[in-house]
A and B are shown apart, each in its own frame.
Chain A
Amino acid sequence: MMVQTIVFIILAIVTLGAALAVVIVKNLFHSALYLMLSFVGVAGLYILLEAPFLAAAQILVYVGAIAVLIIFAIMLTRRLMDKDLVQRNAQWGWSALGAVLLFGTLGIILFRANWPVVEAVVPSETIVILGKELMGTYAIPFEVASVLLLAALVGSIIIAREEK
């Protein structure tokens, strides 16, 4: 139990610290690298929550695909990433105040709520159950998700294509 607590604290610090760096750092390229670190931290939290498949998917989809896509976009719009460019807009102070207030409210609500926590054990073959559920109970959402991905693929190619 002690080891889990220490690992959780380290992962939480890494995730939240990297996330803070993502929104504060001036250079957007560094921001994207911190975003990758934050995603890795979240993957660690998934492992701690005994969801190894999600951790692997997190690394593959977020670190492997989305973060690389973001870095690509930053590279393609490079000229606007000068270091002296102001990256915050005029209402950043209000945004910060709103975010802190929201966090305070959420914190109070979360600690006051009485969550129905159970002391059950996670099934040993979660990945097998996950696959069966995706192909059984959730077959239609699964197919809809694949259509969504296809539509996003075609749509993004058409949007980003250079007009002849």
Chain B
Amino acid sequence: MDLYWYLIVAAALFCIGLYGALSRRNAIGILMGIELMLNAVNINLVAFWRYVKPAVLTGQIFAIFVFTVAAAEAAVGLALIIAIYRNRDTVIIEDINLLKE
């Protein structure tokens, strides 16, 4: 398998995630799009490690740190969504405009 195909798959995954993050009205849907984008970045990191510098494991270690940050981001993001739901009774992003009014 060639490096190019992994990069193409990762680019496609990133663009799908981007579309999801931009087009969803629901905050949880946006968060799912962001998770897809983080996964695409991880595929890139591991593919570059495998095909460009397999002797040094920096790519894999970077991917592990992305895992950690993604887990923290998901936990805090979902806690925020639940807090907003409790206070405003909605998770639709367009209705959360307290600062705009």
A, B co-complexed:
yes
Tally of A-B Cβ pairs under 8 angstroms = 230
Cα–Cα distance between A38 and B64 once the two chains are bound (Å): 18
Whether A73 contacts B82 by the Cβ 8 Å rule is: yes
Known: A152-B76, A156-B76, A159-B83. A106 touches B24 (CB 8 A): no
- The minimal Cβ–Cβ distance linking A55 to chain B, given in whole angstroms, is 10
Number of chain B residues whose Cβ lies closer than 8 Å to a Cβ of chain A: 71
> Which of chain B's residues have a CB closer than 8 A to the CB of A155?
76, 79
Q: Which of A117-164 contact B (CB under 8 A)?
A: 117-118, 120-123, 126, 129-130, 133-134, 138, 141, 145, 148-149, 151-153, 155-157, 159-160, 162
Q: Which of A27-77 contact B (CB under 8 A)?
A: 28, 31-32, 35, 38-39, 42, 45-46, 48-51, 53-54, 57-58, 61-62, 65-66, 69-70, 72-74, 76-77
Q: Does chain A have a CB within 8 A of B57? A: yes
- The minimal Cβ–Cβ distance linking A5 to chain B, given in whole angstroms, is 6
